[in-house]
A and B are shown apart, each in its own frame.
Chain A
Amino acid sequence: MSDDVRELLGRAAEDAGRPVISTEAVYAKAGRVRWRRRAAVTATAVCAVAAGAFAVPQLTSGPDAPQTSSVASLAQEPGESPRDVRLLKLLPHLTGTVEEVSFADIIKHVSPPPPEPSRTGPIDGQYEIRQDGGVGYLTIDVMDAKTVARKLGGSPQVENLCEPENGEPARTDCVREELSGGRVLTIWSDDMDYGDGGTPQWGPELVARLTLADGSVLGVRDSTGFEADVVQGPMLKTPPLTRAELRELVLRPELLPAK
């Protein structure tokens, strides 16, 4: 019996192929983590000795602070407005700026940059929102029913996301709405504090999921940003969009593929 199981697991594991991470990448990452820890200790010591307000700016702007970087806009299809421009038009209440970014670039620092991902929705992408001196993020991702099924590995979609599952606590501030046309909209808060020690460490966010009658799903993350070795700027105090603004955005037909 155990040999059979091992053989089956072996067949499933064969699909994995080989990892692309290298030993050098592991050591480089470990070096960055060590550097950050040392920086944090140094900054703490500076605060303790100085015991003054002047030490605080050093934490955010001194040499020990995370590096900031800027990224160029991603390539756009010819003849179309850039996606970030189209998104901005859907966010009338937003006071900040919107720029499309790639998490592969700004978080994983993949080099050379990976090719453009396939997009199902016309505005699918990852967007940096700069406002109030900080940087948050919006991600928009439409998945057709086939992709959803593949992601779930054959498991059915969860009927009610607001109910606890698998013994885990229910999602925070979760609101589920049944809308016309068989659509179901669920919005909840996620403090993203999972204590798994990885980077980046994401800040709190609002998450919206709109499930359509055909089984496709629109997901939007409304994030305060993240902490990592290299960041685009400090995190926002609250997500870039309020819950009402997020709801309004998720229900915009412009986010869905044309019929």
Chain B
Amino acid sequence: MRSDDHAALHAFVESRRTALFRSAFLLCGDRHEAEDLVQTTLVKVVLGGRRHGRLDNIEAYARKTLVNTFIAARRRFWRREQAYGEMPERAAEAPDTDTGLAVRAALARLTPRQRAVLVLRYWEDLSVEATAATLGMRENTVKSHTARGLAALRAEMAEVMV
């Protein structure tokens, strides 16, 4: 790996940490789990970059790693419903906590894959095709997950989304 690749990798980790954390938070709804997800993702990105000696489309690689790590972790029942070893809560910065809570409640009712589709499509602004490639799904599956996810959000947020 060249030194400018090292620098690019370092800059990516530095600059994309918060953005990945927010996507992770939307996926899992828990700050601590989101921290773990982002750390696991970035460690894989760093190791992958060093191992392969190149940084082709690092953004896509990080995004794919994040959602797949999330989906794999969600299979672990304990994480889905009950965290262990609670870390101290940080003060929330939420200016609109009620709406945020309602959206997270709606997301929590979806399956992990449906949630991942919504986050990739509407938060990360990916196309159906790119979302399908990221999640290893058929495009029709992405479309059906999108429809169900939006319906759930719509039901939850009827007043906001009129």
Closest residue of B by beta carbon distance from A209: B82
How far, in whole Å, are A192 and B79 apart by their CA atoms in the complex?
A: 11
For the side of the interface on A, what is the size category?
A: 35 or more
Tell me the smallest distance from the CB of B138 to a CB of chain A, in Å: 16
How far, in whole Å, are A87 and B33 apart by their CA atoms in the complex?
A: 28
From 1 to 26 in chain A, residues with beta carbon under 8 angstroms from any chain B beta carbon are 1-2, 4-6, 8-21, 23, 25-26
Q: For the complex, is A143 an interface residue (Cβ under 8 Å from B)?
A: yes
Q: For the complex, is B105 an interface residue (Cβ under 8 Å from A)?
A: yes
Q: List 11 A-B contacts (CB under 8 A).
A: A9-B26, A12-B101, A13-B25, A14-B94, A17-B93, A18-B21, A26-B42, A155-B108, A168-B75, A198-B69, A219-B78
Query: Using an 8 Å CB-CB cutoff, how does the interface string of B94-112 with A read, 1 for contact, 0 for none?
Result: 1111011101111111011
Query: Using an 8 Å CB-CB cutoff, how does the interface string of B24-66 with A read, 1 for contact, 0 for none?
Result: 0110010100111011101110110010000000000000000
Q: Are B43 and A30 in contact (CB under 8 A)?
A: yes
How far, in whole Å, are A10 and B39 apart by their CA atoms in the complex?
A: 22
How far, in whole Å, are A30 and B23 apart by their CA atoms in the complex?
A: 22
Q: Are A9 and B88 in contact (CB under 8 A)?
A: no
Q: Are B35 and A21 in contact (CB under 8 A)?
A: yes
Q: Are B46 and A30 in contact (CB under 8 A)?
A: yes
Tell me the smallest distance from the CB of B121 to a CB of chain A, in Å: 8
Tell me the smallest distance from the CB of B158 to a CB of chain A, in Å: 12
Q: For the complex, is A154 an interface residue (Cβ under 8 Å from B)?
A: yes
- The residue that B103 contacts in the complex, of A9, A139, A141, A166, with Cβ under 8 A, is A9
Q: Are B92 and A13 in contact (CB under 8 A)?
A: no
